[in-house]
Chains A and B, each alone.
Chain A
Amino acid sequence: MQNANLQNISVIKKISSRLRLICNIIFFLTPIMTIFYWSFYNHLPNEYQYAIVRQYLQTNYLPLITRVLCAAIMMIPGVIIMLASKYLIELFRLYENNVFFSPNNVTYMEKLGKIVIIWAFMDIIVGTLLVLAISFNNPPGQRYLSIGVGSFQLSSLLIGYIIVLFSKIMDEARIINEEQQYTV
């Protein structure tokens, strides 16, 4: 049984290490890719451009001020992704060090759940702002305001609440773990 336990811990350590690396890459790439994408938007093939741009714009060309605005708007979910990555990095670092049920584990998991919930609401706002920014330079009468709620936002909301629930369960595990640590 001890062998199985050691094997389990070894697997957790290996997977946590890889996932922490991936999250680190996501953390650093997110702002870079956002700026890169909107800087070179006009030179991207059609399949890589936002469908809503073609939907709300007279031409497929975005002026600089619009691209700067769009980049700033898209940094809102970008920051959320970076925050979520940061919490995951810290969580995986704890798992790598065989710390599974500490108060910090609970805190990071709860924060992760809350940030996913915030992401669900912010996605609605970002979508609206993006349409506004894109159609801002259109002639009067052809500027758009769009508010949309889709399956992505609803599933993000559900996943966020599930993660928050898991954090509460993990808190119970923390209490049991502490009881066990102080049982002689």
Chain B
Amino acid sequence: MSVQINLDVMLAKRKMKSNELAKLIGITEQNLSILKTGKARAIRISTLSLICRHLNCQPGDILEYLDDGKDIRDEI
């Protein structure tokens, strides 16, 4: 089971580049890349709030739950 972050889709809809969003929310491009590639273990509420503000969307627009049959505890 995992929560997927569909940042690419929202960035394309808002016609915004990753580096622009990274600068706006005050994180490095590498950190944003960690989010986009699904390597993130956790996301701060503050970061999620800033993403939603600058992409003008709801958390549910970028977060998607997928049941892939794996236990997330095994990945930690």
Give the interface of A toward B (CB within 8 A): 175, 178-179, 182-184
Contact = CB atoms under 8 A, between A and B. Distances in A.
B41 interface: yes
25 contacts: A175-B76, A178-B41, A179-B41, A179-B42, A179-B76, A182-B34, A182-B39, A182-B40, A182-B41, A182-B42, A183-B40, A183-B41, A183-B42, A183-B43, A183-B44, A184-B27, A184-B31, A184-B32, A184-B34, A184-B35, A184-B40, A184-B42, A184-B43, A184-B44, A184-B47
A182 B33 CA distance: 11
Interface of B: 27, 31-32, 34-35, 39-44, 47, 76
- A178, A179, A183, A184, most chain B CB atoms within 10 A: A184
Contacts, number: 25
A179 B34 CA distance: 12
A175 B42 CA distance: 13
B35 to A, nearest CB: 5
A124 B40 CA distance: 51
A184 B44 CA distance: 6
Nearest to B32: A184
A101 B32 CA distance: 23
A182 to B, nearest CB: 4
Q: 4 closest A-B pairs (Cβ-Cβ)?
A: A182-B41, A183-B42, A184-B31, A184-B35
B54 to A, nearest CB: 14
Contacts of A184: 27, 31-32, 34-35, 40, 42-44, 47
Nearest to B48: A184
Contacts of B32: 184
A19 B41 CA distance: 36
Contacts of A183: 40-44
A183 B27 CA distance: 11
Nearest to A183: B42
